Structure 1
């Protein structure tokens, strides 16, 4: 807003945001062509996939399940007084939600059955987000946000939460999200913000921590493209800090901003060059399918 010199008039700018859901194959596109949006997905803000390939879409209030072609839509979760900040699938049994103002005034981790029934509160902190379950379905990993953020876990049945051993990263000042838990359950990857002690610049890294009992090995840190650190990219994916793994863990995908537009790029973990997967003309959020 700006005020005129005589204080008799003011000027404001109104911004209207529209969202659409577009589906691409895992290979992406080599051409600057945007696929047609899925018309049945109204105002999509969060997206995940069920183990059998169905879409789960949230507009922030509801979570709706539908076929990949948009048919057979069913609302699973609906609370107009609450807000779903992130959610994920836990096998074929549960949904995990970072749910604000549901039965309270805090942001906590909740579990529902796969059909949205029987909601159960798993944590009781003030600001907890980015839930993801272990491959065996026994643990829920999440981020406890106050301060510099902590990587935590709680039983899928609830109970006391506990910090993850050896997950502290030197010079860390924040955690953007949990990217993955390896299929063998032996490691977890998360996106962490650190300070370069030589330049005092902020850097975004992918940290990988071993989950094996008794392991005190420090996190392995991998460099990510510096363009991921653009403020426009924080939160462009769904609770994972903008970085998602390929199913075989040979690489990670994340959005990079160029000329004011972000697109998804693939970075192999073997050090080979990455490449662009999408060619959109606006800002995006993305979720890799199963």
Structure 2
């Protein structure tokens, strides 16, 4: 699932391509809005809200979309062949004289009144890259359930909006705690929230979700996607397991030497240099 910085860049691309332009094509290829025709409406703006995209149109309408795991928007120049995916995967087409934005595999395509946007995004916590960013409120929401594992709490968009699995794992590493550490046991939840804002803001205009400061491929994250490889800091083998039953489809990664706190038992993984005798259950 895209991180908030990826959605921020997607919104910027769509805004640059569509804002101020009148739609010459406005198709929503989903059953709920198959008869909707947005042709002739001017696009006012495209804004991100956490991981959601809000395309606001004149006449008080908003197109709400969400990318989830593999949805994407692609902008094509006039006359350019659409090559983003097979045609049957197209869910939305917004075309102007300047170009066409095509939404592929979008799991959420919802047309609503702009005044009703809160119905779609009102549940979200403070947006890490939005004008409503409020670190104190984000900390308050995180600490409202002190027994909840921090990795799971960071992934909950109701606490703070914009964190996906890459940053949830990397933030736990940077805080020196495992993803299963209860939120209430964090020494400095305010520092964790500040770091979350820092890393997303640093990456909002570049791809790669870089948390190490190293832009080279394979060196951009500390632990995410590095299971079985040595920790770049201490050499201990990076381990992986499920976050838990609520977020089972999103694996957790951690260094059992650099990160303290509870973790599930992991068998059959040999520690790397400097990690003799360490396992995921420490």
Bin the TM-score by the shorter chain: under 0.3
Q: Which has the higher contact order (CA 8 A, sep 6+)?
A: 2
Q: TM-score, normalised by structure 2?
A: 0.23
Larger radius of gyration: 2
Whichever structure has more helix as a proportion of its residues is 2
Whichever structure has more strand as a proportion of its residues is 1
